[in-house]
């Protein structure tokens, strides 16, 4: 069975000094599929331009730096806007090449990715990946998305979900990425926009099937680099200055902020 995977890395570029983790992850995926195409869509700021000039995106299939809008609205507006742009970048490539994908991975740029470097561990993960891809075809899954965690209904918001990585079939990814238009550009939209709730609005408006990614494999579970660093130094609870940490772009900046507050 042949498989083509598309990866959309999108949003505010952060922690890209760790870009080698992404390169290794994409190489790993290529061990059991026919092709992996990577599309990057990031805000056009100095940090993105510096990394572009340094050749840090040379393993991407295509890249677009998106001008930062003057007006930023509620919820995950910037997240959704950049996600939609990444979908458009992928579709332009598909129109040129007449290519289709069996699976689309939509992910942030500031994730810690550890696929395991011992060969026996990698072999086990390869088999899990192969089994999952076979499931996509055997069950004829079409409009389905996967999140890292269950959707939470215990939040003060209508619903809440982890939004670091979303996995989807191509048909589901195309609709999911267009959810931004229906949520933010439609004044009559009945859906709620707030931090961590926009992705579920996208799912609900198109009646997409959604599941948690219940696979114990490194390609299915990621942590933010800054969160991993905080755990590594035994800061297991969210610090009061977390909002400050969210705004920085490099791990060195994270370390300096933590040092200032400790």
Give the Cα separation of 167 and 173 in Å (integer).
Answer: 8
For the chain, domain boundaries = 4-221, 224-262
Consecutive H or E run containing 201: helix 198-205
Fold of the domain spanning 4-221:
Spore Coat Polysaccharide Biosynthesis Protein SpsA; Chain A (3.90.550)
> Is 199:172 a contact under the CB 8 Å cutoff?
no
Residue 183: band (very low, low, confident or very high) from pLDDT cuts 50, 70, 90? confident
114-157 confidence digits (pLDDT tens): 776 567 777 777 888 888 888 877 777 788 888 877 776 655 55
Q: Residues, the chain, total?
A: 262
Judged on CB neighbours under 10 Å (0-12, 13-18, 19+), 226 is buried
DSSP H or E segment with residue 219 = none
Name the band, by pLDDT with cuts 50, 70 and 90, for residue 173.
very high
Quote the CA–CA distance of 179 and 205 in Å, as a whole number.
Answer: 8
Percent of the chain past pLDDT 70, that is, above it, reads: 91
The tens digit of pLDDT for each residue in 187-212 reads 888 887 777 788 888 888 899 988 87
d(C-alpha 1, C-alpha 26), whole Å: 19
Q: Are 104 and 173 in contact (CB under 8 A)?
A: yes
- Find tokens 């982890």 and name the residue: 162
Which token pair is 33?
């599929």
d(CA 62, CA 145): 24
Sequence-distant (≥ 6) Cβ neighbours of residue 256 within 8 angstroms: none
Cα(146)–Cα(220) distance, rounded to whole angstroms? 10
DSSP string, 86-104: HHHHHHHHHHHHT---SEE
Q: Quick one: pLDDT at residue 191?
A: 82
Confidence (pTM): 0.91
What is d(CA 170, CA 168) in angstroms, rounded to the nearest whole number?
Answer: 6
């Amino acid at each position: 069975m042949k498989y083509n995977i598309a990866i959309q890395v999108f949003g505010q570029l952060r922690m890209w000094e760790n870009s080698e983790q992404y390169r290794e992850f994409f190489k790993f995926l290529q061990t059991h599929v026919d092709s992996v195409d990577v599309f990057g869509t990031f805000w056009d700021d100095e940090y993105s331009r510096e990394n572009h000039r340094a050749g840090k995106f040379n393993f991407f299939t295509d890249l677009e730096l998106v001008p930062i809008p003057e007006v930023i609205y509620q919820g995950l507006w910037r997240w959704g806007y950049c996600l939609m742009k990444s979908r458009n970048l992928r579709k332009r490539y598909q129109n040129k090449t007449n290519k289709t994908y069996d699976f689309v991975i939509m992910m942030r740029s500031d994730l810690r990715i550890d696929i395991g470097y011992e060969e026996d561990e990698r072999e086990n993960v390869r088999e899990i990946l192969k089994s999952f891809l076979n499931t996509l075809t055997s069950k004829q899954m079409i409009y389905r998305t996967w999140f890292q965690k269950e959707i939470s209904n215990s939040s003060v918001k209508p619903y809440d979900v982890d939004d670091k990585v979303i996995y989807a079939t191509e048909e589901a990814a195309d609709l999911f990425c267009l959810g931004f238009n229906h949520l933010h550009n439609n004044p009559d939209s009945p859906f709620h926009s707030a931090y961590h709730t926009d992705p579920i609005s996208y799912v609900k408006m198109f009646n997409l099937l959604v599941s948690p990614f219940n696979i114990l494999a490194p390609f299915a579970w990621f942590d933010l680099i800054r969160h991993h660093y905080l755990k590594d130094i035994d800061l297991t609870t969210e610090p009061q200055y977390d909002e400050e940490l969210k705004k920085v772009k490099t791990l060195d900046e994270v370390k300096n902020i933590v040092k200032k507050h400790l």
